[in-house]
Structure 1
Amino acid sequence: MHYALNLRTFFYSHYFYLGLRFAAGLVGVTLFTLQFASLETAMTVCIGALCTALMDMPSPLRHKFNEMSASVLLCSAVTLLISLSAPLHWLLMTMLVAISFLACMMIVYGKKSMPLQLATLFIMTMSMEHALTARQAFIHTGLFTLGALAYLAYAMGISWLLRHRIKQQVLAEALFELAAYIDIKADFYDSRYNLSEQFNKLVRHQSLLADRQQAARDLILRSHQNRKDAIVVQTHVCMLDLYELILSTHTDYAQLRLHLADSPVLKTLHDLAYKAARDIESVAYDVTRDKPSYPEISYHAELAAVEAELAALQQRVSEGKPAHEALAVLRAQRNKIRAIIQMIGELHAASQKVADSTPFWVDADMGPFLSQQKYELRMILSHLRLESPIFRFSLRVAMAITVGLAIASWLPYAAHSYWIVLTIVIILKPSFSMTKQRRSDRIVGTVIGCVITALIIQYLNYPAAILGFLILATVATPTFIYLRYRYAAIAVSVMILLQMHLIAPGNHELIIERLVDTFVGAAVATAFSFVLANWEYQSLPRMVHEVLSVSLRYMQASADLLQGKGSDDFAYRIERKRLMDSLAALNSALVRMLDEPASKQRAVEDINLFIVQNYLLVAHVAALRAIVRRHVREIPQQALNAMLEHSHAQVSDILQRAISKGAGNSQRSGTASGKHQPPASHIAPVAGTGQDDNIHWSGWPLVQRRVRLLQADAAKIVVHSAAILRDVE
């Protein structure tokens, strides 16, 4: 369950704060306007505030101001254009289609532009029903802009006052997701769970975790000017270091289960991981409450049980029994878990007071870690071609709206075309998967919302009660819009229907009309989701190439770091972030493809294994860093560097072959399915200085084993990337 759906944490989450801010702003602007004007004027001002409120998301203050200002200007312009066009039906229809197309083209600017697109289409549909004179159109637009500016000023003031609080909430969300990530890893020790399914689940969650970590970076690393900010920053960096340690815990879980099948130590390892997740959650919970966090969980009993099992295995080895492998694997996991527990302790400490220094980013350019956004006209112009998925989506929406308007004009009852159009723009999304999910949520949410509204009007038709439910729905709408859209659809249906009931209380067919309009809009959106559709498999070659390219750069950065060629790990952190982001994007495409028709799915198993193998590269590098740190005494630096250099050359050559255009042809005669492993001859043996037998460093065999695994998993990447490209072609 999402942390924000738990009552204990819900009221401290930024989702709840957003709902309160949203509702207080809208209700406040509306009530203030009612003191000086009519209800109709107040509703126009309220709609202006609502469109601006759709852009009210956690962002750095400068970015928030730019985004909300763009919403004010764009939505005001759309309001004026539609209002002036309304008297001429042909002109109105032309403007509706043109604005729909242009609004959808704005998604070239990325995820941040999606709320702006929605706000533009929303005000377009809200303005199309008004037949106004030119003078009335300008007055209407002025009132709309007044409401938009009022909410802009209000939101910026509140965000400035709560700027540190918002950083804490976004950081806490990343910590909660990290705890959920450890919960998934804990089940690797439970033999009841299938390892392949569990690893797939882990990689899926990686996408969400990467998104939450990026949101935290964008807020926290852009500006940290006082001691409170410094605490958030050092906690954030501690979280990232902890995450790398967690990556390093990946091991051969099948061998671990095999060697320790009859031992209770697997249950102990599971309990240790579970406790670690709860410990991280306690830090997140304290961060959301603006309190320092202190350790409350004890690991002594579980660690003692692991030590007892290690002693028993050592005794078996001394007696000549075959337990060497189990002893080595368990000892390695024990060391990693101890390091994680120690790092969680540092995470608690980071939340308590400002550290003396934060060497990670002193005098460093944070740009590579932050989301970069450019709003340039040439980006839209470059997508004005039929091959562009965004251009095809924009055409699809424009055609769907045209058909929706035509159907509304033919319906025998008093259909409200704006509700049909609004349903279309809410449901129809760039991908088939998103459209399918949004359609289900919209229909179910609208039906439930209509039932709730009918019950309220029937049994609680009192002004005070209706106002109370209206405020509650207004709070719930933004709270759940990014959390559970189905809940938001319920709330927005209740909110709009109650508003319309207050304006026109005698319309007894209101709810039935809304239901029919919703089903009509959903049917049109569903039909057009197949028109000029952009299927996920079409973008796979580009995304696979991107992952391979970033993976190659990551391996270079990790090789330099492990060999001590740099003064810090800054470059390594940048490339690790980029690789995780590219894997998250490919994984999201895979998840969306699984929701598409079976005939449009390609290389599902190979994509999944390709993601897993690249993820394992990161885990192996993290493990190598942990080994070097743990066995710091008497490191044979020359021999270690020689081995790492040789290994890097081999892995780089493997990845370069996968990137090359001939990767698919070179593997046609080989294994095509991810179910098979590449021949052992493809993997050259680990080479060092030629004096490996004379090296007595305690970490040497561990490094050798990790390097072999690194090379083996890199070799599998070639097989899976070739299979993906072959299936797509």
Structure 2
Amino acid sequence: MHYALNLRTFFYSHYFYLGLRFAAGLVGVTLITLQFADMAVAMTVCIGALCTALMDMPSPLRHKFNEMSASVLLCSAVTLLISLCAPYHWLLMTMLVLVSFAACMMVVYGRKSMPLQLATLFIMTMSMEHDMTVRESFVHTGLFTLGAVAYLAYAMGISWILRHRIKQQVLAEALFELAAYIDIKADFYDARHNLTEQFNKLIRHQSLLADRQQASRDLILRAHNNARDAIVVQVHVCMLDLYELILSTHTDYALLRTHLADSPVMQTLHDLAYKAARDIESVAYDVTRKKSSYPEISYDPEMAAIEAELAAIQQRIDQGKPQHEALAVLRAQRNKIRAIIKMIGELHQASQKAYDTTPFWVDADMGPFLSQQKYEFRMILSHLRLDSPIFRFSLRVAMAISVGLAVAAILPYAAHSYWIVLTIVIILKPSFSMTKQRRSDRIIGTIIGCVITALIIKFLNYPALILCILVLATVATPTFIYLRYRYAAIAVSIMILLQMHLIAPGNQDLITERLIDTFIGAAVATAFSFVLANWEYQSLPRLVREVLDVNLRYMQASFDLLQGKGSDDFAYRIERKRLMDSLAALSSALVRMLDEPARKQRAVEDINLFIVQNYLLVAHVAALRAILRRHVKELPAEPVNAMLTESHDQVVEVLTRALAPGKAEIEPVMVPMAPMSQDGNAVPWSGWPLVQRRIRLLQADAVKIIVHREAILRDLA
């Protein structure tokens, strides 16, 4: 379950705050307008506020202002254009298609532009029903712009007041997702769960976690000017360090299950991971409540049980039983778990201490960590070609709207063409999987919303009660639009139908007509989801190559860090983030492809294994870093660096061959031996076996990347 769907955390989440802000702004603007004008004027002003409110998302203040200002200007221009064209049916139909195409082309600017696209198409459909004179069109547009600007001023004011609170909420969401990630890791120790399925779950969740961590970076690292901001920065940094330690806990789970299948220590390891997840959740919960967090969970019983099991294994080894591998793996897990518990303690401390500055980030360029967004018109021009997925999507929507308008024109009842068009633009998305999910949510949500509205009108038809329900639906719509769209569809159906009931009571066919219009719009959207479709397998070669390119740079930064080059780990953190982002993009594409028709799916198993192998390289590097930290005493820097250099050269050679066109030949992996001193004896250091084992795993998994890359390209060909 998503953390925000739990009642304990729901009312502290930024989703609920968004719903309250949205509803208060809309209701406030409408009520103020009603003091000076009639209901028709108030509704126009309200729709202007609503279009701007669609862009009201957690975002840095400067970005929020730019995004919402763009919405005000663009939606006002569309309102005026459609209103002026409305008296001329042929011109209106032409403009609807052209505006739909242009709005969909804005998707080239990424996910941030999706609400702006929706707002543009929404006001287009709301304006198409009004037949006005030129003067009335300008007055209507002026009122719309007034509402839009009023909500912009209101939202910016509230966001400025709550700027630190929003940072806390977004950071807490990333912490909750990290706890969910550990819950998945915990099940690796449970033999009832299939290891392959658990890896699939882990990789899928890693994509979501990367998205939440990026949202946290974008808000927290752009501006941190006071002690309160310094606290969230330090918690954020601890969270990322903790994430790396969690990555390093990857081990040979099959070996653990084989050697320790009958031992209670597997359950102990599971319980430790479960406790760690709850501990992180407690930090997240306290962050949402603006409180310092203090540890309340004790790991002592489980750690004592692991120590007892280690002693028992050692005793069996002393008796001549071959359990050396099990001892080494369990001991390594014990050491990593200790490091994780210590880091969780530091996470608690980071939330308690008031910092004057954030020394880790002083004089550092945060640009590489942050989402970079450029709104250049030439980006749209560069996609005006038939092989562009965005261009094909725009054509698809324009054609679907044309058909929707044609169907509405020939229906036997007084069809609401704007509702059909609105249903089409809400359902039809750039990818088939998104369209499929949105269609299901829209239809089910509308049916449930219509049934609830019918019951309210029949049994609870009291104006005061209906107004209360309207306010609740207005709060629920934005709250769930990014959380569970199905719930948002229920709320928006109730909200719109009850508004229409208040404006025109007694219309018995209102709900039935809305249902029919929804089904028609969904049918048209479904049919056109196959027209000029962009299937996910078409983007796989590019995504696979991006992962390999970034992995090469990550390996260079990793081995530079392991060998002590550079004064800090800044470059390593940047490359690690980029690799995780590229893996998340490939993983998301795979998930979307699984929702597509079976005949459009390619190399599913090999893509999944390719993602896993790249993920394991990150885990091995994190483990090497932890080993070098743990065995820093008497560390023979020169011999260790020589071994790391040799290993780095081999891994880079393997990844370079994977990038080369054609079939790459796979050579045997040569694991460097422990360096010798001048007298011919091995250089003494306790970390040699652990480092050698990790390097062996790192090189072996790098070779497997070539195998899966070749299989992917072969299947795609």
TM-score computed with the length of structure 1 as normaliser: 0.97
Aligned to 1:170: 170
Aligned to 1:77: 77
Residue 647 of structure 2 contacts residue 671 of structure 2 at CA under 8 Å; is this kept in 1?
no
Q: Counterparts of 1:321-336 in structure 2 under 5 Å?
A: 321-336=321-336
Residue 19 of structure 2 contacts residue 475 of structure 2 at CA under 8 Å; is this kept in 1?
yes
Aligned to 1:684: 670
1:724 paired with 2:709, answer no
Aligned to 2:235: 235
Aligned to 1:674: none
Give the distance between the partners of 2:683 and 2:417, measured in 1 at CA: 79
1:257 paired with 2:263, answer no
Kindly state the Cα deviation for residue 696 of structure 1 after the two structures are TM-superposed: 2.2
**Deviation readout 1:392-433 (Å, 9 max, x if unpaired):** 000000000000000000000110000000000000000000
Kindly state the Cα deviation for residue 687 of structure 1 after the two structures are TM-superposed: 4.6
Secondary structure of 1:351 counterpart: helix
Aligned to 1:712: 700
Residue 167 of structure 2 contacts residue 216 of structure 2 at CA under 8 Å; is this kept in 1?
yes
Aligned to 1:661: 661
1:415 paired with 2:401, answer no
Give the distance between the partners of 1:105 and 1:727, measured in 2 at CA: 31
Report the residue type matching 2:684 in the other structure.
Answer: H
Report the residue type matching 2:117 in the other structure.
Answer: Q
Aligned to 1:122: 122
5+ residue gaps, structure 2, are none
Residue 646 of structure 1 contacts residue 687 of structure 1 at CA under 8 Å; is this kept in 2?
no
Kindly state the Cα deviation for residue 361 of structure 1 after the two structures are TM-superposed: 1.6
**Deviation readout 1:343-384 (Å, 9 max, x if unpaired):** 000000000013476443221000000000000000000000
Aligned to 1:589: 589
TM-score computed with the length of structure 2 as normaliser: 0.99
Give the distance between the partners of 2:425 and 2:706, measured in 1 at CA: 41
Residue 203 of structure 1 contacts residue 612 of structure 1 at CA under 8 Å; is this kept in 2?
yes
Give the distance between the partners of 2:570 and 2:207, measured in 1 at CA: 22
Give the distance between the partners of 1:92 and 1:358, measured in 2 at CA: 56
Residue 204 of structure 1 contacts residue 587 of structure 1 at CA under 8 Å; is this kept in 2?
yes
Aligned to 1:100: 100
Q: Label 1:357 to 1:87 Cα distance change in 2 as closer, same or farther (>3 A).
A: closer
Residue 167 of structure 1 contacts residue 232 of structure 1 at CA under 8 Å; is this kept in 2?
yes
Structure 1 range deviating more: 452-461 or 500-509: 500-509
Secondary structure of 2:360 counterpart: coil
Kindly state the Cα deviation for residue 36 of structure 1 after the two structures are TM-superposed: 1.0
Report the residue type matching 2:137 in the other structure.
Answer: A
Aligned to 1:698: 686
Aligned to 2:634: 634
Aligned to 1:428: 428
Aligned to 2:557: 557
Aligned residues: 715
Aligned to 1:288: 288
Give the distance between the partners of 1:544 and 1:175, measured in 2 at CA: 29
Aligned to 1:315: 315
Report the residue type matching 2:102 in the other structure.
Answer: L
Aligned to 1:380: 380
Kindly state the Cα deviation for residue 726 of structure 1 after the two structures are TM-superposed: 1.2
Give the distance between the partners of 2:480 and 2:443, measured in 1 at CA: 16
1:579 paired with 2:583, answer no
Aligned to 2:469: 469
**Deviation readout 1:522-556 (Å, 9 max, x if unpaired):** 00000000000000000000000000000000000
**Deviation readout 1:307-361 (Å, 9 max, x if unpaired):** 1111111111222222211111111000000100000000000000134764432
**Deviation readout 1:64-96 (Å, 9 max, x if unpaired):** 000000000000000000000000000000100
**Deviation readout 1:630-660 (Å, 9 max, x if unpaired):** 1110111111111111111111011101111
Kindly state the Cα deviation for residue 505 of structure 1 after the two structures are TM-superposed: 1.1
**Deviation readout 1:254-307 (Å, 9 max, x if unpaired):** 001111111100000000000000000000000000000000001111111111
Kindly state the Cα deviation for residue 685 of structure 1 after the two structures are TM-superposed: 2.9
Report the residue type matching 2:682 in the other structure.
Answer: N
Residue 227 of structure 2 contacts residue 355 of structure 2 at CA under 8 Å; is this kept in 1?
no
Report the residue type matching 1:426 in the other structure.
Answer: I
Report the residue type matching 1:99 in the other structure.
Answer: V
Report the residue type matching 2:507 in the other structure.
Answer: N
Aligned to 1:21: 21
Give the distance between the partners of 1:198 and 1:359, measured in 2 at CA: 39
Secondary structure of 1:684 counterpart: coil
Aligned to 2:453: 453
Report the residue type matching 1:146 in the other structure.
Answer: L
Report the residue type matching 1:720 in the other structure.
Answer: H
User: What RMSD, in angstroms, separates the aligned Cα atoms of the two structures?
Assistant: 1.0
Give the distance between the partners of 2:317 and 2:359, measured in 1 at CA: 45
Kindly state the Cα deviation for residue 694 of structure 1 after the two structures are TM-superposed: 1.1
Report the residue type matching 2:294 in the other structure.
Answer: Y
Kindly state the Cα deviation for residue 621 of structure 1 after the two structures are TM-superposed: 0.2
Residue 610 of structure 2 contacts residue 708 of structure 2 at CA under 8 Å; is this kept in 1?
yes
Residue 56 of structure 2 contacts residue 68 of structure 2 at CA under 8 Å; is this kept in 1?
yes
Secondary structure of 1:682 counterpart: coil
Report the residue type matching 1:97 in the other structure.
Answer: V
1:499 paired with 2:487, answer no
Residue 244 of structure 1 contacts residue 622 of structure 1 at CA under 8 Å; is this kept in 2?
yes
